[in-house]
Amino acid sequence: MKPSSATFPVNTIDLNTMDLNHTDRSMSEHGLLLEVNGSITEPANKTLRVVGLAALLFISGCMSKVGELPEEAQIKVPDAWQPEAANVSNLESDNTNELSTKNIEEKPVVSGWLNSLNDDALNIHVEKALINNPDLFSSAARLKNAFEQVTITGSSLRPQLRFDGDASNRESSAASASGGATQGESETTEIRSIGGTLNIQWEADIWRKLSQRRKAAALDAKAQGELYKAAELSLVANVSRAWYNLATNKLQLDLAQKRLDSFQNTANLIEENYERGLRSALDVYLSRTDVQRQISALADSKFNYIQALRALKTLLGEYPDASLELNVNLPELDNSVPTGLPAELLTRRPDVRASLLQYQAQIANAKAAHRDRFPSLTFTGSIGESRDTFNSIFDSDNSIRGLVASLTQPIFAAGALKAQEMRAYNDAEIAYASLVKTTLTAFEEVENSLTRETVLLEQHTAIKEAVKLAQGGLDLALDRYQSGIENYTTVLQSQRSLFDSLSNELNLRNALLQNRIGIHLALGGDFATSQDRQADNIPTPSITKAP
């Protein structure tokens, strides 16, 4: 089964279709009706006009600075990626500036990069990580909390109803009025009372400050959704990197064993020649020393392999033991990556989109904080009664009913409201700075990874040629040593050169894979195609669902 994305918990609110401008409607569009003394009344337009006129002079002196903030990151974006900028050199050769840019395609970024690696074992590990990884648990929980916060914040736009009930039971005694009764005798009466009050409170959103806060909560929820996507993509990339690090360490372990075997065979050959008097004792000591060095290096390779295995197990949400069946290989990269255009990165990278949404949420909060300084219109009402039985509480026409409209204008708060407004504005500036930094970092990651691939391809081509030359050099050194023309030092250097080159070639193949994964992650490309996501529905990570 191909890996797919975990689904978002969208059973509460659909953020993609949420009307963020709902709060910009006028009060009359709410159509709120309240029952007062049995009649239906609507807040009079005349009252609202009076409120508006009363606050006009106040508003004119309280203009917000939020309008000065830009709508998006003010960054000059080039028309194409600039990996060739790293090719500047002081060398005079004209070939220096002809490093490969043929591996950079400006075609649109495509989804499904994980399948392009053609690694079934990796796909299985990614599936496990998407279900069991604790970091994804945390991100999913934060996303759910953000949905709940939208409901909590939006509730302030609706009337709030609260029922208060009470019950009492007491006894009352009185002296007997019958003649000849003993003084002090009395009759006892049990008095029971059951009361209830239904309280109604609603603040008219005449300045749309409550709507701005609901808008901010919705934007925060959308941002959290983007951060969940970013966490998911990052997890898949990290699992892929850990898998190929493990594969590299396994191949390095096998190479270390081959290296030890090679030096052991050479040492045995030298000892045979020494016993026949053809070689000196110095060659025997040198060969035995090299064998011990390779034994030490093999032990180090074993530890590196186990460490890489445990790192992968942790990402998968499993106990980091050292048991895993491996049939590893490092795939060769023979195709280029469509990179798209730099401007497209701003709408594709989930972390950049999240940063923009968080900035917009702070702007909405700043607008709400500014409008907190305006008059507020609040309606409060209550219906209450006391009876001897619960069922008859609200039966009487004599029950207490009331509706009060209150207009509150902050006059003096020792500068607190102004400070809160400026604090919200400063938070918006902080969010803008974070947006710029996130965007610049995204561009930097893409540029560096593209340049890095060009350099790694050059290095890999060179090291593969070095392996061929080192193998030929070792073969020749052994022949000449057997003929007595060369000494053992030449053989030793040739062996080291060959195995060092083989080790470097493995590391470079891994570096190419690591960097390729980094390119996909930096470009914001999805690891799964849209068809894969529709076909394979992995449930949202949850600690209650974890095995």
Residue 57's pLDDT band, with cuts at 50, 70 and 90, is: very low
Query: What is the Cα–Cα distance from 114 to 95, expressed in whole angstroms?
Result: 35
Query: What is the Cα–Cα distance from 237 to 244, expressed in whole angstroms?
Result: 11
Distances (CA, A) of 487 to 267, 276, 480, 493, 494: 14, 17, 8, 11, 12
**In this model, does residue 105 exceed pLDDT 90?**
no
Burial class of residue 340 (count of CB atoms within 10 Å of its CB; 0-12, 13-18, 19+): buried
User: What's the confidence (pLDDT) of residue 89?
Assistant: 43
**In this model, does residue 115 exceed pLDDT 60?**
yes
Residue 453's pLDDT band, with cuts at 50, 70 and 90, is: very high
23-37, 160-174, 258-272: which range is least confident on average?
23-37
Residue 94's pLDDT band, with cuts at 50, 70 and 90, is: very low
Residue 535's pLDDT band, with cuts at 50, 70 and 90, is: low
* Domains, the chain, ordered by start: 79-85+98-158+208-367+428-535 (1.20.1600.10)
Summarize pLDDT for 292-334 with one digit per residue, the tens: 999 999 999 999 999 999 999 999 999 999 888 788 788 888 7
**Residue with token string 């909560």:** 217
Burial class of residue 165 (count of CB atoms within 10 Å of its CB; 0-12, 13-18, 19+): exposed
Helix (H) or strand (E) holding 405: strand 400-408
Percent of the chain residues topping a pLDDT of 90? 44
Three-class SS of 92-128:
CCHHHHHCCCCCEECCCCCCCCCHHHCCHHHHHHHHH
Q: Is 201 helix (H, G, I), strand (E, B) or coil?
A: strand
Segment 128-148 mean pLDDT = 93
- Rounded (5°) CA angle 300-121-235: 80
User: What's the confidence (pLDDT) of residue 474?
Assistant: 93
User: What's the confidence (pLDDT) of residue 132?
Assistant: 93
Summarize pLDDT for 507-525 with one digit per residue, the tens: 999 999 999 999 999 999 8
Segment 448-461 mean pLDDT = 94
Query: What is the Cα–Cα distance from 327 to 251, expressed in whole angstroms?
Result: 10
8 A C-beta contact, residue 249 and residue 311: no
What residue type is assigned to position 547 of the chain? P
Q: What contacts 171, CB < 8 A, 6 or more positions away? A: 188, 189, 190, 191
Residue 269's pLDDT band, with cuts at 50, 70 and 90, is: confident
**In this model, does residue 130 exceed pLDDT 70?**
yes
Query: What is the Cα–Cα distance from 289 to 283, expressed in whole angstroms?
Result: 10
Query: What is the Cα–Cα distance from 120 to 243, expressed in whole angstroms?
Result: 12
User: What's the confidence (pLDDT) of residue 148?
Assistant: 94
**What mean pLDDT is reported for the chain?**
80
**In this model, does residue 374 exceed pLDDT 70?**
yes
Query: What is the Cα–Cα distance from 367 to 420, expressed in whole angstroms?
Result: 11
**Residue with token string 């025997």:** 284
37-51, 81-95, 168-182: which range is least confident on average?
37-51
Higher pLDDT, 105 or 391: 105
Residue 18's pLDDT band, with cuts at 50, 70 and 90, is: low
8 A C-beta contact, residue 450 and residue 83: yes
Burial class of residue 87 (count of CB atoms within 10 Å of its CB; 0-12, 13-18, 19+): middle
Both structure tokens of 252: 């390095």
**In this model, does residue 169 exceed pLDDT 80?**
no
What residue type is assigned to position 447 of the chain? E
8 A C-beta contact, residue 353 and residue 53: no
Q: Sign of the CA dihedral 432, 72, 438, 18?
A: positive
Q: What contacts 149, CB < 8 A, 6 or more positions away? A: 217, 220, 221
Query: What is the Cα–Cα distance from 347 to 442, expressed in whole angstroms?
Result: 12
Summarize pLDDT for 490-504 with one digit per residue, the tens: 888 999 999 999 999
Residue 52's pLDDT band, with cuts at 50, 70 and 90, is: low
83-97, 466-480, 521-535: which range is least confident on average?
83-97
Both structure tokens of 377: 């219109």
Query: What is the Cα–Cα distance from 263 to 255, expressed in whole angstroms?
Result: 12
Number of CB atoms found within 10 A of residue 463's CB: 20
Residue 489's pLDDT band, with cuts at 50, 70 and 90, is: confident
Burial class of residue 285 (count of CB atoms within 10 Å of its CB; 0-12, 13-18, 19+): exposed
